[in-house]
Structure formats: structure tokens, C-alpha cells
Amino acid sequence: MTTFDLASALAASAGVPQPHLVTRPVGAAIRLLIERQLDALAAGTVAVLDFSGIGVLDRSCADEFVAKLMLPREGATPARDGFVMLRGLHDGHLDAIEAVLETHGLALVVQLPDGATRLVGAVTATERALWEQVMMGASAAVEELAAVVGLAADEVHDQLDGLVRRRLLRRSDGGVVPLGAHAA
């Protein structure tokens, strides 16, 4: 995993003395900076965007930065590689980020202050249940997950493929693992 301190990046790139992510132009500036840094990472790297030094994040900036950062990373053949996880968020950050993720049909993994992770954004109850099973260390074997969530194995396989395409889980040895786990 590689961590990016957004407050430091904001101060260095945009010359903004206060650590606030407000307005679309600021969102575009920080997104372009982070995109360049993400593009330099090895394929499959998990990048952690650390918001802990950020005071205010408004919805327009969250849309310009977070949503537009994630849109080219989803799908069967994403335009950009890599995985993104968020850390250091407070409730105000989460409100703005969840709103723009849901608007765009996106989701992200967020690390909470206690180290636990959760999904935010647009996910179905089935996607959330499967993701939580993988996160709890449950076997990621399709048959076992199918028994736990009460679906057919082919449905679970399709759902897991969707979570991988959405960059919410990673493939490893024919199964799936959380973003923070080592992928073989």
C-alpha cells in the first residue's frame, strides 16, 4: 500500500495554505496531482488517500476529485489501473463523498479511525454482505460464500466479479481478498 497525505499534496500543488478541499478548481488540481502519482505506481497497487489533515470537503470538490478519480478505474477494462482506499475521514467528509459516489453509481472502501473498513457509496445489500464476509476473513471460496449469503454459486461468482471490477476487492489465487491483503 502507498499512502498519499492530501493536506500536504494540497499545500504543495495548489499553494493553498488552508487544508480545505472546496470548489471544483481545487478538486481538479488535487485530482490531477493524485492521478499522476497513481499512474506512477506499479499495477495493482492499493493507494490510500489520507484525508486526516483536510478540514472542509464540499460536495462540488468531492465530485471533481473523488468521483472523477474513480470513474476511469472501474469496469472490465478500466482506463486506469490500481485500487483506491480512503482514510482519515470525518462525518463531513463522508457526507460529501457518499453523496457523489451514489450519484455516479460508485463505491469505495474507507478505513475508519479504529482500523476497521467499510463500503461507502452505491452498493447493493448482496454486494455488501459478500464484501463483509470476505473482510471478516471468511473463506472466499464461492461455494462457502454462497452458503453464507443464501445464493447460488454462479450468482455469488458474478457478484464477486462485480466487486473486483469496481475495485472493492482484489483477485488472489483464484479467489478474492480485501484491498489491504497481499494478492498473489
Phi/psi for 48 (5° steps) reads: -105, 120
Whole-number mean pLDDT of the chain? 87
Residue 175 has pLDDT above 70, yes or no: yes
Q: Identify which has the larger pLDDT, 139 or 141.
A: 141
Q: Identify which has the larger pLDDT, 147 or 103.
A: 103
Instruction: List the beta strands (DSSP E) in the chain.
Output: 2-5, 46-50, 83-87, 107-111, 117-121, 170-172, 175-177
Rounded to an integer, what distance in angstroms lies between the CA atom of residue 65 and that of residue 40? Answer: 18
Rounded to an integer, what distance in angstroms lies between the CA atom of residue 29 and that of residue 148? Answer: 44
In tens, the pLDDT along 27-76 reads: 998 999 999 998 898 888 899 999 999 999 999 999 999 999 998 877 66
What DSSP designation does 148 have?
A: H
3-state DSSP call for residue 92? helix
Residue 183: the pLDDT is 43
Residue 104 has pLDDT above 80, yes or no: yes
Where in the chain are all domains bearing CATH 1.10.10.10? 123-184
The distance between the two most distant Cα atoms of the chain, rounded to a whole number of Å, is 54
Where in the chain are all domains bearing CATH 3.30.750? 1-122
- CA 89 and chain centroid, separation: 13
Match domain 123-184 to its CATH number in 1.10.10.10, 3.40.50.1000, 3.30.950.10, 1.10.1240.10: 1.10.10.10
Q: What does pTM read for this prediction?
A: 0.89
Average pLDDT over residues 146-159: 91
Residue 93: the pLDDT is 95
Share of the chain above pLDDT 70, in %: 90
Is 3.30.750 the CATH number for 1-122?
yes
Reported as a pLDDT band with limits 50, 70 and 90, residue 179 is confident
Q: Which of 104, 12, 116, 17 is nearest to 66 (CA)?
A: 104
